Chain A
């Protein structure tokens, strides 16, 4: 059996709806990790969807309970073939963000896979169930074609990524041998454009925090008190306006990264961000002035107001509200001083007369806190994977130094010491953290070929080097 015939067989399986049928079962499990009531669904996803699939491929499986109360379990599946062959660690996350039922177009149920033309809707399609399902299917295709993988494979599925991967660090640190490998290759997030095969080598970090102005216990009649009582919404709005400009530029120096290096600028030179059909329109005047869109999202930091509330927006009353809260987020590239953000903001607020703006921890349901990481673009594994993808697609692979989004990549780069190579199968306009999350079937078909070819190549005798 050849590489080509393995890919053909994989595409045949894909076209016969094997992929969508498997995915539908997995999307139907409402694995919302931000919702404590869904904790049993996280274990059910591993028990009913993941473990049988890995065992069918001859993997041994082990489930690690989460040491953090309320955190979901982690599965590690291992197929060890030969000590002389390299070991590749794969990854996926079985949890999803909240379903946001009732807010999807066309009355769609987030837990029911629904195909409309090239789009396949459902919570967790893009992030991340379709991506790890695709990779697992490609492994199965290579096993079927060759009779073995030709390399050693470990594959972990965590169930808490959308809630900050709490506890995952402790599980890995406590089981370094079990998770040890030579390289990390996994799929999550979007390609730079739907038809541009992409590799990214790191991720922006993320840190959520709340800014709070809490002035008094209750609301007071805006007629009797208007002009006498400070309005917390107005104060907090001014504080935010001192942190981020009206066109999105960060105004506090300590929240910015060091200048973009020439190497990164070079890597990003030919990267055009294409949201695909129906994607949002990039606001070219937003963000750091003078940068290209690719530099803004893969090479720079961004500050977001994810949510802001004062008063009672659902039913406003004529009262000076007592408090205001802004749920904020920093996304940042490697080289930024994550631990310096909060102290710098505190000083900035104090220096600008906003002593009454408090910096609070984020709500537990949306408390992500990720480091920024990066594997160097000229690392041998990075070059090899990009080439393997190009062998299948016949096109140059886009290599991004960093993903815009945040993932628990530091566990692989720092804790396990692996080169981290991500091969995303989705696209940026997939609404992955919103209603109407979906994938493009054509893009995933393309990925089926890429991943089957890649896993095939990993089993070839002359490939790749086992780490020293």
Chain B
């Protein structure tokens, strides 16, 4: 009786691990499969590999098109992430501070850019910006990307604040610290990991956003994903694979930083708990 149960469980366990392994393969393999083609000495993006070359990377670095795209991506992504992070952090602190009427509705609204189809946002801004001359402008794209990224700092900072011990702020205030000092010296350091990962999320959103750039951007405002988009449609060649590899490395870097921040924030939580 008992032996039968464990055998069933064992079989179930093996089936589970095999199934999960296949899904992990499905998740990761495509991203890896494109990598060797970026150093393959062939015009075509096909296997088997022919020989090693770095010329596709050299082509990317030598090209004005990609240099402009990189500059544009940062020119839009950094200010957008900055606006999103400042506004999102303040809002998250406000939401955690007190209950007020309509709080649930406001939270739903603040997070709605997460789910509203980007094409709707882009088309709305396309009409809305026109009278102000903001279509085909950096300002317009920065505003659009800041709106799309803003929910992320709200979520990450809220999560950091959920574990924040209010007594620390109260203690500082009772010792005579003005509210701004309490915020700067007590609150900000403790929620800093949340703020940082929110900022990285917001930047990553802008850095990978193509629909608003397609609809609102001018020809000289093409970003990296915008160049990828036309590259994939018109002339898919190994330079695209080289860019893809570099973007993947950047994604790995961002992922590791966010995970480190998360671990740090967990550690802080445990320390605060043991005080």
A and B co-occur in one complex: no
Binding site for A on B (CB under 8 A): none
**Interfacial residues, chain A to chain B (CB-CB below 8 A):** none
